[in-house]
Amino acid sequence: MGATGRISKLVLITSLIITIAHSCSVKLEPKVPKYLEKPLKFDFYKKSCPQATGIVEKVVSKYSEIDPTNPAPLMRLFFHDCFVQGCDASVLLNSTTKIVAEKDASINFSLGDFNIIDEIKAELEHACPETVSCADVLALTAVHSIHQAGGPLYPIELGRRDSLTSYAPSSTTNLPAFSLNISGLLENFANVGLDLVDLVALSGGHTIGQGHCSSISNRIFPVVDSHYKKGYGQDLLAQCTDNGTLKAPAFDANVQFFNDPVTSLTFDNQYFKNLQMGLGLFTSDESLLTDSRTQRLVKLFAEDQDKFFKQFGVSFRKMGKINVLTGTQGQVRKQCWVRSLPVILSLVVAVTTLMVISGGRSVEAQLVNNFYATHGCPNAENLITSVVTSAINSNKANAPGLLRMHFHDCFVRGCDGSVLIDSPSEKDAIPNQTLHGFEVIDAAKAAVEKACPGIVSCADILALAAQISVKISSGGRITWKVPTGRRDGLVSSAADPLTFLPAPNSNVATLTSKFATAGLSVPQMVALSGAHSIGVAHCSAFANRLSPTVDPTLNPAFAASLKLQCPAGSNNVVNLDVTTPTRLDQVYYTNLKANKGLLTSDQVLETDPSTSGLVTANSNFNTFAANFRSAMLAMGNINVLTGTAGQIRLNCRKFN
């Protein structure tokens, strides 16, 4: 059977399945219930699953009675989840054959009690199928674990949704290490919107739980830290050494000790008292006492348990709102360790299986780091880096051009290289008529085709080119490993960009909708907008802000300057960032704070209360860098084609 026949058969089978599904009242693309369209709130499941909290409490109570050390690792799961791409249950996803997930990062090796989370989720699915997210399971489990350990029963807002991604490197980058001092800890907490008070209060979570030898090796080798209480450090050394050598493996359950050696299983303020007595276990604990910025709070919480409990509750709820997915973002997983397939996708999988039997092809959907190292072109990334770097060094404008091209590709049909196809195609759409840098992609493609014909996709070349552009434009301060294995799309329509790409005059509501359609959150939207730190815009893109009247949110002096650069009838280009136009940095956000955002879609991020706080947070370079890296990884995964889907084009400008 030829390709046309197979496609016809696919359409016929799909139509039959959809017809049968409708006749059986199967909801293929269910409308999101009203309760999912609202932000976090305390009674989120009041109507959809009123027994949710009771189920979580019952299971946590059962396992706390079986083993009173269980509350600590259950609480810790929530902390480790929220600090890495937000409270989205990404820490629960299992690794695949191609992607190493967060739970397998070295810093997460000692996480446990996943089986308890799975049991809670199973009971919730039985009571209220596909309703309570794994992210909310983690939040509720942490709340009840604290209570089971003797702490307050904190209220917590609910309504989180589950992420679709999980990357081990993100954990290593974003989780606070045990060896950090206060400056390092503050930077780490600031990256997720938490402050000094939150740092000290949340560190009080170490009032329960256990540590391992590897986490304190810097404090006992080669000499015992003098800040330890006399005898305590020596005792730890004795437990961790065997004939003078650190016991192996470092995470052996037999080589661990309670964070709080006094009231080990009780959630109280003894942790802070311990710090004052030289019984702080980790460097990060001891630093709270020895640093003048945090000493006062340690003393306050040691003296007044009620104040500690109150502040811990405030900071805990604040942490629980980090980069949450809500509404229609992400999904509600059926099993917390694996992503769920939508009903319609499940049907398509069934169709695909039938097509395999009848001569069609199957699709495998995962990206992986260093894909080409084991897929026929081990030098691919080096070749692409060389070509793109040379092109940017020759013409700095290539960096923002390639970065923008990657954005425009991913937002339309996914990151499949469809934007590269020559007319008639996406290139013809008005938003894409100012794209440039295609010749750089052509040169990179020529280089890899010469080395490994028919192996490296144009979609991957574009994703790598964007990352290289960011690295060079940020002076090497923002970089990440690009997962590869994308394949090239077979469709490129001029009608699509107008539908999916955000317009320069969009307000926050429109921007949020466009990004949500692509599966991206509001924090990711604000972070990715920082790409406007480099590049230019034509006068026509912001003419609405200058005429017939000047936009009142424009800085008057800035507006006057723009009028000089854009006289009537001209369509000149103006730098998106007037302060550091060729450097990718946080100054884009400080410009917004000063009402110097060039496009409407830029300035509204500051004027809209729903995003202004994110603008402030990203005004710190380290915060912006971390958020931008994470958001670029997420964007680069939008609707990718992998396995045998699509094709590997021989020429990026035309289909094979």
Distance of CA 108 to the CA centre of its chain: 17
What is the 3 state secondary structure string of 274-309? HHHCCCCCCHHHHHHHHCHHHHHHHHHHHHCHHHHH
Spatial separation of the C-alpha atoms in residues 42 and 124, rounded to whole Å: 18
Spatial separation of the C-alpha atoms in residues 330 and 490, rounded to whole Å: 26
What is the 3 state secondary structure string of 449-471? HHHCCCCCCHHHHHHHHHHHHHH
Contacts 24+ apart (CB under 8 A), 262-266: 263/207, 264/208, 265/68, 265/69, 265/149, 265/208, 266/149, 266/150, 266/207, 266/208
Contact between 112 and 71 under an 8 Å Cβ cutoff? The reply is no
Spatial separation of the C-alpha atoms in residues 287 and 308, rounded to whole Å: 18
Count of other CB atoms within 10 angstroms of residue 126: 9
Residue 151 is classified by DSSP as -
- Closest of 229, 217, 93, 245 to residue 162, by C-alpha: 93
Count of other CB atoms within 10 angstroms of residue 499: 12
Sign of CA dihedral 259, 166, 154, 119: negative
User: Phi, psi at residue 504, to the nearest 5°?
Assistant: -65, -15
Amino acid found at 652: C
Spatial separation of the C-alpha atoms in residues 87 and 230, rounded to whole Å: 40
Contacts of residue 298, Cβ cutoff 8 Å, sequence gap at least 6: 200, 272, 275, 276, 288, 289
Contact between 171 and 101 under an 8 Å Cβ cutoff? The reply is no
Spatial separation of the C-alpha atoms in residues 538 and 553, rounded to whole Å: 19
* Crossing angle for the helix pair 458-473 and 380-394, to the nearest 10 degrees: 50
Count of other CB atoms within 10 angstroms of residue 23: 8
Measured CA distances, 649 to 485, 486, 555, 655 (Å): 13, 12, 47, 6
SS3 52: helix
SS3 260: coil
Spatial separation of the C-alpha atoms in residues 63 and 107, rounded to whole Å: 25
**Burial bucket for residue 3 (CB in 10 Å: 0-12, 13-18, 19+):** exposed
Beta-sheet strands, E only, within 145-264: 210-212, 241-242, 245-246, 256-258
**Which sequence positions are flagged as catalytic?**
408
- Closest of 617, 635, 636, 628 to residue 322, by C-alpha: 617
Contact between 40 and 326 under an 8 Å Cβ cutoff? The reply is yes
Q: Is-cis flag, bond preceding 548, omega within 30? A: yes
Spatial separation of the C-alpha atoms in residues 329 and 87, rounded to whole Å: 13
Residue 539 is classified by DSSP as G
Residue 111 is classified by DSSP as -
Amino acid found at 415: C
